A and B are shown apart, each in its own frame.
Chain A
Amino acid sequence: MKNNQPARRLGLRGWVYAGKYSFERYLYLGHRLSGLGLVAYMVLHIVETANRMRGEQAWAELMALFASPPFKVIEYLLFALAVFHAMNGIRLFLVELAFFSGKPQEPVYPYKSSVLKHRPLTYVVMILAGLLMALGGSSLFFP
Chain B
Amino acid sequence: MPGEKIITFRIRRFDPEADSAPHWESYAVSVFEGMTVLEALHKIKAEQAPTLAWRSSCRMGVCGSCGMFVNQLPQLACQTQVLHLKADVISIEPLPNYPNVKDLVPDLQPLFEKHTQVKPFIIRLDDIQEMEHPAGEFLQTPEEREAFSQFTYCIKCGLCLAACPTVATDPHFLGPQALTQAYRYSADNRDDGVYNRLDSVDAFHGAYQCHMAGACSHACPKGVDPAFAIQLLKRTLVLDHFGFGKKEAQTAAVLPLADVVKALEEFAPPPRTVK
Contact = CB atoms under 8 A, between A and B. Distances in A.
Interface of A: 1, 3-15, 17, 19-22, 24-25, 28, 31-32, 92, 95-98, 101-109, 111, 113-115
Interchain residue pairs A-B with the least CB separation, the first 3: A14-B168, A107-B223, A111-B223
A104 B225 CA distance: 9
A105 B146 CA distance: 7
Nearest to A94: B231
Nearest to B12: A8
Contacts, number: 141
Given A96-B212, A104-B148, A113 B99 contact: no
Mostly helix, strand, loop or mixed at chain A's interface? loop
Contacts of B165: 10, 14-15, 28
B74 to A, nearest CB: 10
Contacts of A17: 72
13 contacts: A3-B109, A7-B110, A8-B94, A8-B100, A9-B97, A9-B167, A9-B171, A21-B73, A21-B215, A28-B165, A32-B211, A92-B211, A98-B231
B232 interface: yes
Interface size, B (range): 35 or more
Contacts of B149: 104, 106
A108 B148 CA distance: 15
Nearest to A109: B223
B217 A114 contact: yes
Interface string B185-224: 0000000000000000000000000111111011010111
B235 interface: yes
Given A105-B146, A113-B217, A113-B218, A14 B212 contact: no
